[in-house]
Amino acid sequence: MDDGLPPLREVIAAHGLAAKKSLGQNFLLDLNLTRRIARAAGPGETFFEVGPGPGGLTRALLAEGAARVVAVERDARCIPALEQIAAAYPGRLEIIEGDALSLDTATLFDGPVRIAANLPYNVGTALLVKWLTVENWPPFWSSLTLMFQREVAERLVAKPDTEHYGRLSVLVQWRAKAKILFDVSRSAFVPPPKITSSVVRIEPLNEPVADARLADLERVTAAAFGQRRKMLRQSLKVLSPDAEKLILAAGLDPTARAETLSVADFAALARVFFN
């Protein structure tokens, strides 16, 4: 990648960016790998990157032709390194110093935006839920390309009757389609995390797969998966004393367990329990 910028190892040394565990910092230094992620995040004009760190993915997005990248980073130490990238790509990179979790993302963009991020997994999951639960649908983003721990990635794509199927699977698959693109080995990161990561791409569906109010769906899945080994007639009692009758009204078996239900089944429960 001939962007005239120094190798990332030199950037990290020059700016004293020793990885901070508290910020979940595991940096990607291989620009071929960050380019692969950038290509997976495209094609697009405008990108929103969360947690650019020393800028490996940021540089790749710009080198791959992004017209505009908005990047939000919490660690003030990274800002001067990111400003060097902005200078190498005049007018194309905007840097925001702050916490992505409290940023009102939807109002930053007036057209479709592709989101790309390599984040600590707790922040990544919280942001994913934030982006999936926005009021307007289709949402302000046209795709999410995110790095997750392999196990979290498996939860996003899990089907009923499998080990990883749960609340997050239902929430994602109700309004979007998720795909695991490729794994990234621990050794690609500095410092290496404990487990393998996966790059996931999520695209919004035009409409949810089955009608329901989001808040109702979340209440039903929280109750059902909160006690995932119990039969529905037991686990859903917290929502209504008439749980058994309501489950039958939704056309489902009260002795079934949460993990056997499809996304459409959960939507049916959300409708009968709260309408």
Among 5, 12, 25, 220, binds ligand SAM (CB under 6 A): 25
Which of 56, 139, 204, 208 touches ligand SAM by CB under 6 A? 56
CA distance 266 to 77: 45
Identity of the residue, 181 or 248, whose beta carbon is nearer to ligand SAM in the bound complex: 181
- For residue 79, give Cα distances in angstroms to 75, 109, 222: 7, 21, 39
Among 3, 10, 83, 99, interactor with ligand SAM by CB under 6 A: 99
Least distance to ligand SAM, CB of residue 35, Å: 12
**Range 105-164, binding ligand SAM (CB under 6 A):** 118-120, 123
- DSSP alpha helix (H) spans, the chain: 8-14, 31-41, 56-63, 79-88, 121-132, 150-157, 167-175, 214-226, 232-235, 243-249, 263-274
User: Under the criterion CB under 6 A, does residue 64 sit at the interface with ligand SAM?
Assistant: no
Specify the residue, 34 or 173, whose C-beta has the smaller distance to ligand SAM.
34
Question: Does 51 help bind ligand SAM (rule: CB under 6 A)?
Answer: yes
CB 202 within 8 A of CB 143: yes
74 binds ligand SAM (CB under 6 A): yes
Measured between alpha carbons, how far is 39 from 201 in angstroms, rounded to an integer? Answer: 11
Residue number, nearest CB to ligand SAM: 51
Helix (H) or strand (E) run with residue 203 in it: strand 197-204
For position 73 contacting ligand SAM by CB under 6 A, the verdict is yes
In the complex with ligand SAM, the residue whose CB is nearer, 120 or 139, is 120
Nearest to 194 by CA among 185, 207, 181: 185
**Rule CB under 6 A: is residue 270 a binding residue for ligand SAM?**
no
By CB under 6 A, tell whether 53 contacts ligand SAM.
Answer: yes
Nearest to ligand SAM of 60, 176 (CB atom): 60
Instruction: Check if the beta carbon of residue 63 is closer than 8 Å to that of residue 35.
Output: yes
Least distance (Å) between residue 218 CB and ligand SAM: 22
| Residues in contact with 259: Cβ distance below 8 Å, sequence separation at least 6, in sequence order | 160, 161, 162, 165, 166, 225, 228
* Site residues (vs ligand SAM, CB under 6 A): 23-28, 50-53, 56-57, 72-75, 78, 99-101, 118-120, 123
